[in-house]
């Protein structure tokens, strides 16, 4: 069996996707920042599902991160047939209130590194009988969101890039899918220091296992775009019908800092 490479694999949706793929007997390549966490997770996945699980601890906000991941895969001679660009996070606050470096690091993780990984890994994916790319975007991709300006923009970028890449590869053995979850009960809010909307997230958030299950099944069905959850599907659809100014006002009220 070939390998699945998953970024942001130490927790949340990424960890749930690792279990979903291991249950299908995919060997795993786990990428995240914490080597100690990844070591324990790799051992647990390997023991539970009887698959191989290797890991690379790396900061994906570094400009050279994607190249380093590729070199690791090449050195290990891993036959990767699934690439999941799951790592991502938000910087919350008025644009000018956060440092330029914070914004740039987030954009690298959310957009630049996934693009680079697709570029580096495609030659490996094309060597397999059938391969898949799954990019994890967000329902934030469907509208501008003040106080999350670059997060929403980076997720919109990833969605449009995925759709374009899918068209370019439609006659090949590589299928490209983008999943756009709404609120998910992960560490996302704590990392972004968005505790002010914790109650809303708890009320409407999906469990990571459910999101991962929908995403993985959709990926294998070669779907173009996946929005997990009926409420999220309706919300995304309404952004096409309702005037942008109203959609953006609603989003601004929801994610306001005070």
Q: Please name the residue that has the structure tokens 């929403």.
A: 152
Rounded Cα distance between 55 and 78, Å, is: 12
CB neighbour list of residue 70: distance below 8 Å, 6 or more residues apart: 117, 120, 121
Strand, helix or coil for residue 214: helix
Rounded-to-5 percentages of helix, strand, coil across the chain: 55, 15, 30
pTM here is 0.92
Read off the pLDDT of residues 152-189 as tens digits, 9 standing for 90 and up: 999 999 999 999 999 999 999 999 999 999 999 876 65
Strands 131-136 and 27-32: unpaired
Read off the pLDDT of residues 51-109 as tens digits, 9 standing for 90 and up: 999 999 999 999 999 999 999 999 999 999 999 999 999 999 999 999 999 999 999 99
- Cβ neighbours around 120 below 10 Å, total: 18
Nearest in space to 8 (alpha carbons), one of 27, 31, 28, 29: 31
């Amino acid at each position: 069996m070939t390998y699945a490479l998953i970024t942001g694999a130490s927790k949340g949706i990424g960890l749930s996707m690792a279990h979903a793929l291991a249950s299908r007997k995919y060997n795993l390549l786990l990428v995240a920042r914490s080597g100690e966490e990844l070591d324990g997770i790799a051992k647990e996945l390997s023991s539970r599902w009887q698959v191989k699980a290797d890991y690379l601890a790396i900061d994906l906000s570094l400009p050279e991160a994607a190249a380093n991941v590729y070199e690791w895969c090449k050195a290990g001679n891993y036959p990767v047939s699934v690439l999941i660009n799951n790592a991502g996070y938000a910087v919350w606050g008025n644009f000018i209130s956060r440092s330029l470096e914070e914004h740039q690091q987030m954009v690298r993780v959310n957009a630049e590194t996934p693009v680079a990984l697709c570029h580096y890994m495609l030659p490996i994916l094309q060597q397999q009988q059938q391969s898949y790319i799954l990019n994890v975007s967000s329902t934030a991709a469907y509208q501008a969101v003040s106080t999350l300006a670059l997060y929403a923009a980076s997720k919109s970028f990833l969605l449009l890039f995925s759709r374009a890449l899918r068209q370019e590869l439609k006659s090949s053995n590589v299928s490209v899918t983008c999943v756009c979850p709404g609120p998910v009960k992960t560490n996302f809010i704590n990392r972004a220091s968005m505790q002010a909307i914790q109650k809303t997230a708890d009320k409407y958030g999906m469990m990571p296992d459910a999101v991962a299950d929908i995403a993985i099944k959709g990926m294998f069905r070669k779907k173009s775009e996946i929005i997990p959850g009926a409420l999220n599907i309706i919300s995304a659809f309404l952004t096409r019908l309702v005037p942008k100014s109203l959609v953006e006002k609603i989003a601004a009220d929801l994610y306001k800092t005070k």
